[in-house]
Structure 1
Amino acid sequence: MSEQLTLYLHKLSPFSQKVELALIEANAPYRGHQVDVFNKPEWFTSKVAPFGGKVPTVTYGGPSVDPQDPSPLSTKITESNVILEFLADLYPDSGLLPKDPVLRAKVRFFVDANTKHVEGPFYDFLRGRGSYENVLKGIEFVQGLLEEGRDFAVGNHYTIADACISPHLARLRIVTETDIGQFPVGMGSKLGEELKGPKFTKFTKYVDRMLERPSLKQSYDKEGVVTYFKTFFVRV
């Protein structure tokens, strides 16, 4: 595509990473511009994302200009899952969304399931507000959507289903390896041991495959995320 595309992101944000994964997997030309989500600059909230100042946001089209002064001719798109759909439409040959309507529906269902059954329960648990059991129930639900013998969430190709869940899988792995979080001491490690059991073999193998992808490694600052978790999810 000849139109400019700028991604406004925060490197430690799983929602920014979703979009970056899709862009990398689509081999799409884009410009990334970091935004401090804890102290968003005025130009960002007024010119890029006036409706809530959400990160990530992309600008698409218009002239290629200074990211801090985006063209009014560019379209501004926010909400990570909406951006994923946009990129899949923008790069239809990327395979980010299958051409088959049944598989497309399965991808969208997986994205919705990730939001409801993985993102919500996991981050509630991390903040000490949700139960260990709800995390396992969510993982079991998503595991049920994975087909035996398939490398990806849906079908035989990397899609936005894989992009939407992979950043959270990476952070789940941190929690199970380090026990960092505002949950009771030892519960993160216990979760990790449970996920190593035969009941969750299919899920764990899927996680391993996603975390080994070059796109994940390219877009993921593990040390930075660990430091962030240690800073913001301190037990009291």
Structure 2
Amino acid sequence: MSEQLTLYLHTLSPYSQKAELALIEANAPYTGYQVDVFNKPEWFVSKVNPVGKVPTVAYGGPSVNPDEPSAASSKITESNVILEFLADLYPNSGLLPKDPVSRSKVRLFLDANSKSIEEPLYAFLGGAGSYENVLKGIEVIQGFLEEDADFAVGVHYTIADASISPHIARLRVITETDAGRFPAGMGIKLGEELKGPKFAKFTKYADRVLQRASFKQTFDQEGVATFFKAFYARAQ
């Protein structure tokens, strides 16, 4: 019997969604607990994650109520670290390939996603970055995608796909709603650029991972769109 695993998360967090995707793809038993990241409970900071960030995994120790965490459980933080932890915890899930070359490709993809997608995308959303930098990042990621491969690395879903798909979905929210602190219309313009043949391989990949059952189960599109429109509202 496996150790208990509690995932502290927030529904609208793309980083929380990464961990949820990996758990669902691994068919792993876990307890999910929603944390109010805008009004963090004192016990979460003092007993789970002193930085107060989600996702955080509490693994092992006795089975307790999530809001009464045990000091005996191991606390795992940072979404990419959690992804590798889950892949190691469930080695037969295919979340991390067994051969060293493919494993290294997954890790390189994780790094590229952080630098080329996450950083420029959320800088653009917050009005501090350009849509050109978002496109450059997508070009980098597209360079990792093999022509006939179903997923980021080879023909099996891995933590590489779990790492990027939440951000691709939020990219689409931006391009469909124009929500963000960037100049009005730039989100739509970004979307039009992505519809061109230059990004056809990326678009095909995005369509595939966003249609996956695990993704649909963990993504609240309406909630994300509403949050973006409110939190990243343009100054009037």
Look up the match of 1:11.
11
1:81-230 correspondence to structure 2 within 5 Å: 81-230=80-229
Q: Identify unmatched segments of 5+ residues in structure 1.
A: none
SS in 1 for 2:6: strand
Letter of the aligned partner of 1:166 in structure 2? S
Q: Post-superposition shift, 1:136? A: 0.4
Look up the match of 1:27.
27
SS in 1 for 2:233: coil
Look up the match of 2:45.
45
What do the CA deviations read for 1:116-152 (whole angstroms, capped 9, x no partner)?
0000000000011001111000000000000001110
CA distance in 2, matches of 1:102, 1:218: 31
TM-score (norm 2): 0.98
CA distance in 1, matches of 2:192, 2:230: 25
Letter of the aligned partner of 2:133 in structure 1? N
SS in 2 for 1:144: helix
CA distance in 1, matches of 2:52, 2:65: 18
CA distance in 2, matches of 1:100, 1:2: 25
SS in 1 for 2:65: coil
CA distance in 2, matches of 1:14, 1:198: 27
Q: Post-superposition shift, 1:70? A: 1.2
Letter of the aligned partner of 1:85 in structure 2? E
CA distance in 1, matches of 2:36, 2:115: 27
Q: Post-superposition shift, 1:156? A: 1.1
Q: Post-superposition shift, 1:71? A: 1.3
Q: Post-superposition shift, 1:227? A: 0.8
Q: Post-superposition shift, 1:69? A: 1.0
SS in 2 for 1:165: helix
Q: Post-superposition shift, 1:72? A: 1.3
Letter of the aligned partner of 1:133 in structure 2? E
Q: Identify unmatched segments of 5+ residues in structure 2.
A: none
CA RMSD of superposed structures (Å): 0.7
Letter of the aligned partner of 2:38 in structure 1? F
TM-score (norm 1): 0.98
CA distance in 1, matches of 2:55, 2:215: 17
CA distance in 2, matches of 1:183, 1:198: 25
Letter of the aligned partner of 1:107 in structure 2? V
Letter of the aligned partner of 1:137 in structure 2? K
Which structure 1 residue ranges, 4+ long, deviate > 3 Å from structure 2?
none
What do the CA deviations read for 1:88-139 (whole angstroms, capped 9, x no partner)?
0000000000000000000000000000000000000001100111100000
